[in-house]
A and B are shown apart, each in its own frame.
Chain A
């Protein structure tokens, strides 16, 4: 089983749609969680951290369910510029500063 698993997609949605991505992680003692965004042929960039209480940044909402070892990202009112690959990232327990990246979910927002 992969340490961090994501549905690779692709997700093709119309502009203005709401889309949700899910991610599961294997190590129940994992401590930090993030969503990164990677545009085609670019580097990954931190989108947002994920907190136990859930957090929101504009149109983006991240949720963490520790009991189910599940992370989600919700994008409301999607824009063409949201088209990218979204990477679920986990700091596994005992791995100090190392982050483990999921393989990413590809999103295309269509006009």
Chain B
């Protein structure tokens, strides 16, 4: 099992540019989560999908952020336009089944907006 795969591992971009983060969940997992982690705010849930359908996007900071899951094996998180305050580590995680199970996280994308 390859685990949750995220790309890119690191991204440095200029303010105002579009950034797209990618995630491939574990095969067979039916829930996918995007988190953002900063020193100040810890791990924050941005959005989660169940069976490819967005269920709760209340954590998405503003309209500059959007997420899609076109199929069970791929999801994207897009920031357009990016701002320096978006600099953080973005994690994707997936899980299967009941709430009694934990998540498996990807290695994260470290985003720096300059």
Instruction: Say whether A89 faces chain B, with CB atoms less than 8 Å apart.
Output: yes
Scan residues 44-100 of chain A and give those whose CB is less than 8 A from a CB of chain B: 44-46, 49, 87, 89, 91, 96-100
**Are B106 and A43 in contact (CB-based, < 8 A)?**
yes
Task: Using A31-B99, A91-B99 as known contacts, say yes or no to A98 and B48 having CB atoms under 8 A apart.
Answer: yes
Closest 8 CB pairs of A and B: A43-B105, A46-B102, A103-B42, A101-B43, A91-B99, A97-B31, A34-B102, A32-B100
Shortest CB-to-CB span from A26 to chain B, Å, is 16
Query: What number of A-B contacts does a CB cutoff of 8 Å give?
Result: 46
**Interface size of A in residues (CB-CB distance below 8 Å):** 22
Tell me which of B31, B43, B104, B108 has the highest count of chain A C-beta atoms within 10 A of its own C-beta: B43
**Are A44 and B31 in contact (CB-based, < 8 A)?**
no
Instruction: Say whether B107 faces chain A, with CB atoms less than 8 Å apart.
Output: yes
**Are A99 and B42 in contact (CB-based, < 8 A)?**
no
Instruction: Say whether A36 faces chain B, with CB atoms less than 8 Å apart.
Output: yes
Chain A residues positioned under 8 Å from B112 (CB to CB) = none
Chain A residues positioned under 8 Å from B99 (CB to CB) = 31-32, 91, 96-97
Shortest CB-to-CB span from B21 to chain A, Å, is 14
Chain B residues positioned under 8 Å from A89 (CB to CB) = 102
Tell me which of B31, B42, B108 has the highest count of chain A C-beta atoms within 10 A of its own C-beta: B42
**Are B103 and A46 in contact (CB-based, < 8 A)?**
yes
Chain B residues positioned under 8 Å from A1 (CB to CB) = none
**Are A87 and B43 in contact (CB-based, < 8 A)?**
yes
**Are A43 and B91 in contact (CB-based, < 8 A)?**
yes
Known contacts A43-B107, A44-B91; 10 further A-B pairs (Cβ under 8 A)? A42-B107, A45-B105, A49-B100, A97-B48, A97-B99, A98-B33, A98-B48, A98-B56, A101-B43, A103-B42
